[in-house]
Structure 1
Amino acid sequence: MIKGMLPVLAVGLIPLVAGCAAESGDSTDPSGSSSAAVTTSADVAVTAADAAPEVGSSPLAAGLYQSAYSARNRVLWVTSAVGRPPVKTSALYKVNPRTREIVATYVPPVTDTATGALEAVYGVAVDDEHNNVWVTNTRNNSVAVYNQKTGEHLASLPGVAHAREVVVDELHNVAWATGVTDGTIVGFDTRTFAEKRRVTVQGANPAGLAVNKWTGTVYATDLKNAQIIEVSPRSETPRLIPTGAGPISIDLSRDGRTAYTADQTAGTLSVVDLRQGKVTKTIPTGTGALSLATNPRTGDVLVVNRGSATVSVVDVDEGVVRETITTNANPNHVTFGGGTAFIVDKSAAGADRKDTLYTATFCH
C-alpha cells in the first residue's frame, strides 16, 4: 500500500500566479498562459532564493494517492482509493490544474461482483505521446491503462506484485512499474501494452521510479536495502547504488547525472552522483520523507515529509532547505507541471472526509 501524508499552508482557492513566465520551449505551464517569456525590471530583481511559492489548496476527494500532469491536455490526473480490500471506492480524476476542480471522474472496473471490489488505482503516470494514463492497481498486483480523451479503460496488465509506482519513458515507448513484494521492475510497451522486460533483484523492495528521458535508463529505490536499482537498456545486469535509509521516492536532476531520493526512515534527501555511484550530500527535511520532485525550472527539489506535515523546498546545490510549506496532516505525493507543484494529502480534513490538493507555483 502506498504510504504518505501532509498539513495545510493555505486554505481556500488561491489562483495560480498568472504572471509566471515559462522557460523557452516550456509548454507545460498549467496556468494556460503563453509559453513566451516576458521579463520586466521587477522580474530581474527577484532571484530564485528570494522567490517564495504562491500556494493554494482545495478539498478534492477522499483517499487521494498520487497525481500526474499532462502537458498535452493541460489537465492533472489524480488517483484515489478508500479502505482495505475489498476496495469499493476508487476513482481516476481529471482535474483542472488552475481551479483544482474535478472535471471528470472515471471509476475502475469491478473485479469481484460478489463483493463489489474495484480494480483500485494508486500510482499514476501520463503518456502524452499516446494520450494515455497508466496507473498501478496495488491490491490487484497489476497496472492498467486509460485513454486521456475518453477515460476508457484500455487494458489491465497482471504480474506486478503489489504494484506501487509507474513511470513512462515516452521517447522509448516504455512504461515501467515496481513490484514491491517480489523485487521486480517491469517494463511494458506503451504501444501494444505487451511486457518488454522484467528485472528481478532478490531480496529487494522496489518502490519509487524515475527514468532518464535521453538514455532510457530507469532507476528504482530499494526501500528495504538503502540503495538505488539502475536498469540500463545496455546491460542485462542491474547496477546497485547506495543511498539513504528507507528510500521510497526518486527523481533525477535536469541533466540526468544526479539522483535524489526521499529517505523515509532517515527523514532526509540524499543527493547521489550516478557516475561515481555515491552519496554526495545528505539533507535533513522532516520525519517520514515520502515523495519528492525536481522543479524543472529551478532545479530545486520538493520533499514531502509525511510525519512532519510539511513540504521542504531544497536548494540541492547549497544543501539547504530554502522554504517550508506547511500542509494538513499526511501529505502523500508531489509532482510538477511546468513551474507548479501539485501536492496531495491524506488528511481527510475536508467535508465528507475529503483530502486536499495543493498548488505551489514558483515564478523563478
Structure 2
Amino acid sequence: MPRFTPRIRRSAALVVALVAGGALAPAAHAGSGTAATSAPVTKGLYQSAYSERNHALWTTSAVGRPPVTTSALTRLNPDTLAVEATYTPPVTDTATGAVEAVYGIAVDDEHNTVWVTNTRNNSVAVYSQRDGRHLATLPNVAHAREIVVDERHDTVWASGFGDGSLVAFDSRTYQEKKRVTVDGAGPTGLAVNERTGTVYAADLTNDQLIEVTRRSTTPRLIPTGDGPISVALSANGRTAYTADNTAGAVDVIDLGKGLVTKSVPTGAGPLSVATDTRSGKVVAVNRTDATATVVDPRKGTVVKTVPTGTNPNHVEIAHGTAFVVDKSASSPTGEDTLTRFRVK
C-alpha cells in the first residue's frame, strides 16, 4: 500500500463529552467580509477529520448522558457538505441499548481507517474507511479525550484525561506500544510531528504542554497561557499553537526555547485550534462567541473573524478550507451544523 504524505494532525473540544445527526441544506452567510457555507449534519456533533485518500470529511456525534443510545460516525462530501454514509457504533448493553459512543476522531489514510475515542467507555476504537465496519475496541484509556495519527511511524496517540496519560497504539496491529503518565495532569488536545514522532498534549489542568519524544518516556513540560485545551503545530514542527480556553487567546510557542512568544486574543472560550499549512495561518473556534478567528502567528495579529453556528466545538483544515462543527441544534429538526470557509 502506498504511503500517503505525512501531515501534522490536530484536534480539540470541551472537557465534558458532547456531540451528533444529518441532512443537507447549505446556507451562505457573511461576516467580516468573509463568505461561509453551512449545512445541518446531525445531533450531537463533536469533532471532524479529513481523509486525503478518500476526499471525505468524517464526523463523530453522540447525544445525551449514559446510557448513550444515539451516536454515529458520519462521512460527508467536503465539497457539498452532503452526508454520504452514517455508521452506528456497536451496542455495549442490550438491556439499555447503550452504544460505544464516539467523540474524538482522526483518520489513518495509510491503513484506510478511522480512529475514535469512546470517552464514556474509557477506550478507543478503529473503523474501516471503506465500509464503516468496526474493527477493534482498545480499552484502558481513562476518559479518552482526543486522538491523533502518526502515519510515518505507524502510531496512534490518545489522551487519557482521567489519569493524565498519553497512550500510543500500533496502527497496524492495534496493540498498545507506549504509555506515559503525568501525575495530576489533564491532557486534552493532541498534535504530532510526523517527521520526528514527537507528540504534544495540551494539559488543561496545569497550563502547560506535555511533550513526549519517540525515544523517551520522560515528558518535557512547556508553560502555556491560561486553560490550554487544544494544540496545533506549524508546518515545520518548530512552533506550537494552543487554544487557551480561559484566557480567550491563541498562544504561539517556540518549542526549541520552550517559551510563549506571542498571545493573540481571539474571543471568549476558544476550544479548538488548527493550522493551515498552506498559508501558515491558524484558526481557533471561540465557543462562547460563536466565531472562528483566523490568526497570523508570525505577526501576532487577527486576520479575520468568521461567524459560525452557536457553540462551535472543533475545527479541521484541509486544502486551505476550514470545517467547523458546532452544537447549535439550529436546523428545523434540531441538527447541529457544519460551517465551511476559506482560510486565506
Distance 1:61 1:75 in 2: 16
| 1:110 aligned residue | 91
| 1:357 aligned residue | 338
Map Cα deviations across residues 237-275 of structure 1 (whole Å, 9 max, x no partner): 100000011100000011100000000111110110000
- The structure with the larger Rg is 1
Map Cα deviations across residues 35-87 of structure 1 (whole Å, 9 max, x no partner): xxxxxxxxxxxxxxxx9654210011100000000000000000000001100
Counterpart among 298, 309, 325 of residue 306 in structure 2: 325
Q: Is the 8 A contact 1:4 1:333 kept in 2?
A: no
1:67 aligns with 2:48: yes
Counterpart among 161, 166, 174 of residue 185 in structure 1: 166
> Pairwise mapping of residues 1-364 of structure 1 onto structure 2 (< 5 A)?
1-2=15-16, 12-13=26-27, 54-362=35-343, 364=344
SS in 2 for 1:298: coil
Unaligned runs of 5+ in 2: 1-14, 20-24
Q: Structure 1 counterpart of 2:295, which letter?
A: V
Q: Is the 8 A contact 1:290 1:305 kept in 2?
A: yes
| 1:30 aligned residue | none
Shift of 1:181: 1.1
Q: Is the 8 A contact 1:136 1:166 kept in 2?
A: yes
Map Cα deviations across residues 4-32 of structure 1 (whole Å, 9 max, x no partner): 89xxxxx93459xxxxxxxxxxxxxxxxx
SS in 2 for 1:353: coil
Q: Is the 8 A contact 2:18 2:45 kept in 1?
A: no
Unaligned runs of 5+ in 1: 6-10, 16-50
- Structure 2 length normalisation: TM-score? 0.91
Q: Structure 1 counterpart of 2:249, which letter?
A: T
Q: Is the 8 A contact 1:13 1:99 kept in 2?
A: no
SS in 2 for 1:98: coil
Q: Is the 8 A contact 1:206 1:221 kept in 2?
A: yes
Distance 2:94 2:60 in 1: 22
- Structure 1 length normalisation: TM-score? 0.86
Distance 2:75 2:215 in 1: 37
Shift of 1:158: 0.4
Shift of 1:296: 1.4
SS in 1 for 2:178: strand
| 1:18 aligned residue | none
SS in 2 for 1:351: coil
Shift of 1:337: 1.4
Distance 2:298 2:105 in 1: 29
Q: CA RMSD in A?
A: 1.6
Moved over 2 A (4+): 1-5, 11-15, 51-54
Distance 2:289 2:217 in 1: 40
Distance 1:172 1:146 in 2: 19
Q: Is the 8 A contact 2:18 2:62 kept in 1?
A: no
SS in 2 for 1:177: strand
Shift of 1:156: 0.3
Q: Is the 8 A contact 2:17 2:103 kept in 1?
A: no
Q: Is the 8 A contact 1:108 1:153 kept in 2?
A: yes
SS in 1 for 2:333: helix
Q: Structure 2 counterpart of 1:336, which letter?
A: I
Q: Structure 2 counterpart of 1:72, which letter?
A: R
Q: Structure 2 counterpart of 1:303, which letter?
A: A
| 1:26 aligned residue | none
SS in 2 for 1:126: strand
Q: Is the 8 A contact 2:36 2:341 kept in 1?
A: yes
Q: Is the 8 A contact 1:4 1:330 kept in 2?
A: no
The higher-RCO structure (CA 8 Å, 6+ apart) is 1
Q: Is the 8 A contact 1:4 1:345 kept in 2?
A: no
Q: Is the 8 A contact 1:4 1:306 kept in 2?
A: no
Shift of 1:3: 6.1
Shift of 1:329: 1.1
